[in-house]
Amino acid sequence: MNGRVLILNQDLRALTVCSVQKAFVLLYLNKAEMISDVDDDYIRSISTQYPMPSVIKLQSYVNVPYKNVALTRQNLFKRDGGVCQYCGSHRDLTLDHVFPRSRGGTTTWDNLITACKRCNARKGSHTPEEANMPLKYKAFKPSFVMFLRDFSDHKRNDWDHYLGTKRSSKNNHLDS
């Protein structure tokens, strides 16, 4: 029973993604209702089978003042498509401060990018402009819905309506 389920608030706004097990418990306890299921896939007990949830809606509204994407190494790699933002390599990846920490740079979404060890060492304590190493794109802080929509490894087509417009390709922000 692996897979992920999109959880919607009562107003149909995306809240989070959870495991199938957690979604089933919410449905079974009548704390949520199923909006969409996975075709031809079921959760089976000894005597019954239940549709595999894909999108569920909570029965009561959850007040979430601000949903933030955690600044973690894995989330930065997801945002950058798992490639060095200088040369495009997929190997020996690390994080690089665009404006170096040694010169007062901060550890924020807007100042961190994915870089291979070779490019990171070559850039050193310079800015990309000083090192003549242009970035593939400018670092940015993704919104929570953007992160679910564009960077989720478990995204399903029936989530599109709740997460915004359809994507033409994964990590299409890298094409601009």
- Determine the pLDDT at residue 165: 54
| Chain segment 22-76, per-residue pLDDT in tens | 999 999 999 999 999 998 899 998 999 999 999 999 999 999 877 788 899 999 9
Q: What is the mean pLDDT of residues 151-161?
A: 75
pLDDT at residue 6 greater than cutoff 70: yes
| Chain segment 17-35, per-residue pLDDT in tens | 889 999 999 999 999 999 9
Question: Domain 73-123 belongs to what topology?
Answer: DNA Binding (I), subunit A (1.10.30)
- Determine the pLDDT at residue 30: 97
Label residue 153 by pLDDT band (50, 70, 90). low
* Domain definitions of the chain by residue range: 4-66+145-163, 73-123
Q: Which of 137, 134, 140, 150 is nearest to 108 (CA)?
A: 140
| 6 token code pair | 């999109």
List, as own/partner pairs, every contact residues 103-112 make where C-beta atoms lie below 8 angstroms and the sequence separation is at least 24, other chains included.
107/71, 108/71, 108/141, 109/69, 109/71, 109/76, 109/79, 109/139, 109/140, 109/141, 109/142, 110/139, 110/140, 110/141, 111/139, 112/71, 112/76, 112/139
Instruction: Please state, in angstroms and as integers, the Cα–Cα distance from residue 8 to each residue in 24, 120, 124, following that order.
Output: 14, 40, 44
